[in-house]
Amino acid sequence: MPLEQLPSSSSSKTDMELMRAIHSVNPYEGFDTTGFRYDAQGWNSERQVFKDLIDQVCPQLIIEIGSWKGASAIFMGEYLRQKKSSCLILCVDTWLGGLDSWQDPKNSIRYTALKLKQGYPALYYQFLFNVIDRRLTDRIIPFPQTSIIASRWLKQNRVEADLIYIDGSHDEEDVYLDLVHYLELVKKGGVLFGDDYGDAATGVKAAVDRFAGERSLAVEMKEDQFWVISKE
Ligand SMILES: C[S@@+](CC[C@H](N)C(=O)[O-])C[C@H]1O[C@@H](n2cnc3c(N)ncnc32)[C@H](O)[C@@H]1O
């Protein structure tokens, strides 16, 4: 199916250019939906803070680091559609899970949801199905890469975003590196934010506080779990 005939929410030439710069073949094209059902399980994925930051920043591009089954990207995508915004969402994820996904094979959410096929996660296909099901294929662009390699690609291609949501690996050193690489990619006046700031079991708070402290940046806390850093 040609790109232009895919289920459409909103589109501009720039949207198509970004998609084509990453994918020579549209990843939604020819997807076999047999056997899938909509399952967008996530964590804190439908919080008001997403809508508030979209209203505040009026983004043209959102980058999400860590998308899992797509719940937070779909929540933002549906809100953007409702607002008749042409904003795109670039979803960067390996779709291989973080350390937490591999720690307990009995964990029915974090491990089982990886849907291992011959030992390799098929989680990505659930993400694609969910986006197709919600008719957001021309707004949500998957970038199946590590956050760090994707940040290099974005810098090389001079892509900057108004809003960047960091929700990938939750280990302190990884979060710290995501902050280092992605604050650079936020446009002036834009916002970098993330989840799990209030969860002591993760390294998120330590990383955010260290990063912000070293650069004398203000960190706002929203809805008990979200940290927000604005770029002047
Ligand atoms: C907490 S989940 C994201 C949840 C999603 N934002 C939601 O609300 O449903 C974390 C995701 O980060 C991805 N991830 C972990 N480390 C990563 C890395 N270094 N680069 C890219 N993605 C990573 C995992 O594959 C996983 O899908």
What pTM was estimated for this model as a whole? 0.94
List the one residue out of 148, 144, 152 whose CA is nearest residue 68.
144
CATH class of 38-230: alpha beta
Partners of 164 in the β-ladder:
63, 192
Partners of 117 in the β-ladder:
120
Pairing of strands 186-194, 226-230: antiparallel
The first and second tokens of residue 126, run together, are: 């659930």
List the one residue out of 62, 30, 41 whose CA is nearest residue 160.
62
For ligand 1, mutation pick of 41, 49, 62, 68 (most atoms within 8 Å of CB): 68
Each residue's pLDDT, cut to its tens digit, for the chain (232 residues) gives: 333 333 333 334 456 789 999 999 999 999 999 999 999 999 999 999 999 999 999 999 999 999 999 999 999 999 999 999 999 999 999 999 999 999 999 998 999 999 999 999 999 999 999 999 999 999 999 999 999 999 999 999 999 999 999 999 999 999 999 999 999 999 999 999 999 999 999 999 999 999 999 999 999 999 999 999 999 8
User: 89 C-alpha vs ligand 1 centroid, how far in Å?
Assistant: 15
Per-domain boundaries in the chain? 38-230
User: 64 C-alpha vs ligand 1 centroid, how far in Å?
Assistant: 9
